[in-house]
Amino acid sequence: MDLTGKAILVTGGGGDGVGRGVCEAVVEAGGLLLVNDLTKERAEAAAARYDKAVPLPGDVSKPQDVAEILQSAARHCDHVAGLVNSAGIGLVRRAHEAEESDFDRINHTDMRAVWLMSRAFIRQALKARKPGSIVNISSVHAHSTLPGYSIYAGAKGGVEALTRGLAVEYGNQDIRCNAVAPGYVQSEQNIALLRAWTNDPEAWVERHTKNYQALPYQIAPIDCGRLVVFLLSDQARCVTGQIVRIDCGSTAMLYDRDFGKA
């Protein structure tokens, strides 16, 4: 999987979750990393982790910031070859308890921003008459979910539908669009999210890994990153409109491993 000579823009790369794994994998594959995060400080801190990475701060849910991100990217490379829409936030709140502000916050970051960034990326690709690849970060929650996640699941379901639509609309102009849907990925930010509904998140992760996955591994951010890099690379030139789950088989299981035990 070789991204040498390709500039890849990754949104939400400043944390320790999937976005960071994508950044690490892009650099590992030889790509020029253009890393976005919400503030100048976070973007610069993220870029400082990697050789020759370029920080691109901005709020990807705001059209003006999106335009500035792409304009800044153009000053550092001739063409942005790939976009990874990794910026996202979570919500653990049952639908009847949620406020309009919760719904708007989730959908602005997890859905609207994906469309805004994809639109800007597609426009620059069409103008340059260059191929392009978009990879959106979805979630297994778009397929099967838990109590408290319905609004989040709805936003990720929208991301997957948008992914298919973009693939169909722009495939004849050599622009591909796919999505990666991770299961539980080990990171500090996900541990913090689990504390919203369990007093012992580490024990929950251990139980989930052992009983609710076909493969007994904890998914690391770099695992997701390497899958993203494959989809960005020329090796995936015939792959578009696909949702690829990286969940150690959790969505394939009908019951947990204790099923049938007394």
Q: Are 11 and 86 in contact (CB under 8 A)?
A: yes
Q: What pLDDT is attached to residue 13? A: 96
* CATH number (domain holding residue 180): 3.40.50.720
In angstroms, rounded to a whole number, what is the distance separating the alpha carbons of residues 204 and 199?
Answer: 9
In total, how many domains does the chain have?
Answer: 1
Question: What's the distance, Cα to Cα, between the start and end of the chain in Å?
Answer: 47
User: Chain-wide mean pLDDT for the chain?
Assistant: 95
* Residue-wise pLDDT tens digits, 230-254: 999 999 999 999 999 999 999 999 9
Residue 9: CA count within 13 A, CB half-sphere: 33
Catalytic hit among 50, 149, 152, 255? 152
Q: What pLDDT is attached to residue 25? A: 98
- Residue 75: pLDDT band with limits 50, 70, 90: very high
* Residue-wise pLDDT tens digits, 204-226: 899 999 999 999 999 999 999 99
- Whether 242 is covered by a domain: the verdict is yes
Residues whose CB falls within 8 Å of the CB of residue 126, separated by 6 or more in sequence, listed in order: 173, 175
User: Which of 141, 178, 143 has its CA nearest to residue 163?
Assistant: 178
- Whether 229 is covered by a domain: the verdict is yes
Strands 32-37, 243-246: pairing is unpaired
- Whether 68 is covered by a domain: the verdict is yes
* Six token digits for residue 166: 């973009």
152 catalytic per annotation: yes
Domain region containing 120 = 7-248
In angstroms, rounded to a whole number, what is the distance separating the alpha carbons of residues 173 and 76?
Answer: 24
Q: What pLDDT is attached to residue 162? A: 98
Sign of the alpha-carbon torsion through 204, 207, 212, 214: positive
- Residue 190: pLDDT band with limits 50, 70, 90: confident
Q: What pLDDT is attached to residue 262? A: 57
- Whether 256 is covered by a domain: the verdict is no
